Structure 1
Amino acid sequence: MLLKLRAGEKLYLNGAVIKVERKSTLELLNDATFLLEAHVIQPEEANTPLRQLYFVLQTQLMEREASPLALRMFIDMSAASRAAFGGGPVSDGLRGADDLVESGRIFEAMKTLRGLFPLEAELMKDKASANAA
């Protein structure tokens, strides 16, 4: 797998943080767990239920020691989030993310959650508008 990084960009590879000084291309010759800087959210950005779930999965990929605890947290938080959102596309997406996590496809589950962020924002905006009325 080829990874193209911009100058100053960070790569999170098997728990290590790698920063390149100039534009670089890395070739991974074996199976590795990695996240590009663009896919990483900071703790203060985990300010909604779906972003918190994303952060938990991110932690699972980045910190191997935390992986079993992060998986348990994801399962519990996902179930609570599905219940809070009720039916609809967000709950359906969460079920899809659960299935991906169960099959070990963490990065794909994170991608699914990122795709749900706009729906969550819209639902939260609608709820805030209804509460203000």
Structure 2
Amino acid sequence: MNISLRRGERIFINGAVLKVDRKVCLELLNDVTFLLESHVMQAEAATTPLKRLYFIIQTMLMSPNDCETALQLCREMFISLSSSAHDPRIMEGLRTAVRNIEDKKMFEALKAVRGLFPVEAELMASEPEGAREVA
């Protein structure tokens, strides 16, 4: 797999953080877990239930050797979201994310959750001001 990075960009590979000082193309020759800086969510951006879930999964991907606490938080978040989510699109996306996490495919789990952000925004926009959770 080839990955192109711009000057100053970072990539997270198997828990290591690499920052390049010039435009570079990396060729990954084996099966690694990686996350591009453009897909990294900062803690302050995790402002909705699904964004918090994304942040937790991201933590597990970025620190694969130290993810027991994040995995427990992830389980709790799935339980909470499953009990409060009534939209079938959210439920199906959560099931997909769970399967990916069980298969240790964290990047795929992130993609599944990230794909739910527009649905969550749509649902939150249609709710009364006092009830701002995933429905």
TM-score between both structures, scaled by the size of structure 2: 0.89
The alpha carbon displacement at 1:68 in A equals: 1.9
Deviation at 1:64, TM superposition (A): 2.7
Per-residue deviation, 1:130 = 8.1
Written as runs of structure 1 = structure 2, the 5 A alignment for 1:1-133 is: 1-128=1-128
Taking the aligned partners of 2:14 and 2:96, their CA distance within structure 1 comes to 25
Q: Deviations over 1:70-121 (max 9, x none)?
A: 1221122112112111242111211111111111111101001110000001
| Aligned residue type for 1:70 | A
Change in 2 beyond 3 A, CA 1:84/1:17:
same
Compute the TM-score of the two structures, normalised by the length of structure 1.
0.90
Give the letter aligned to residue 61 of structure 2.
Answer: L
Tell me the CA shift for residue 19 of structure 1. Answer: 1.1
| Aligned residue type for 2:69 | L
Runs of at least 4 residues off by over 3 Å:
128-131
Q: What is the deviation of 1:30?
A: 2.0
Indicate if the aligned counterparts of 1:59 and 1:66 stay in contact, CA closer than 8 A: no
> What percentage of residue pairs aligned between the two structures are identical?
47
1:15-65 deviation per Cα after TM superposition (whole angstroms, max 9, x unaligned)? 221111221001112222210011100000111110111111110011134
With 85-94 and 110-119 compared, the bigger mean Cα shift is at 85-94
Pairwise CA RMSD: 1.6
Structure 1 stretches of 5 or more lacking a match? Answer: none
Q: Which has the higher contact order (CA 8 A, sep 6+)?
A: 2
Q: Hey, which of these two has a bigger chunk of helix by percent?
A: 1
1: CA distance, partners of 2:116 / 2:4: 26
Give, in whole Å, the separation in 1 of the partners of 2:66 and 2:81: 21
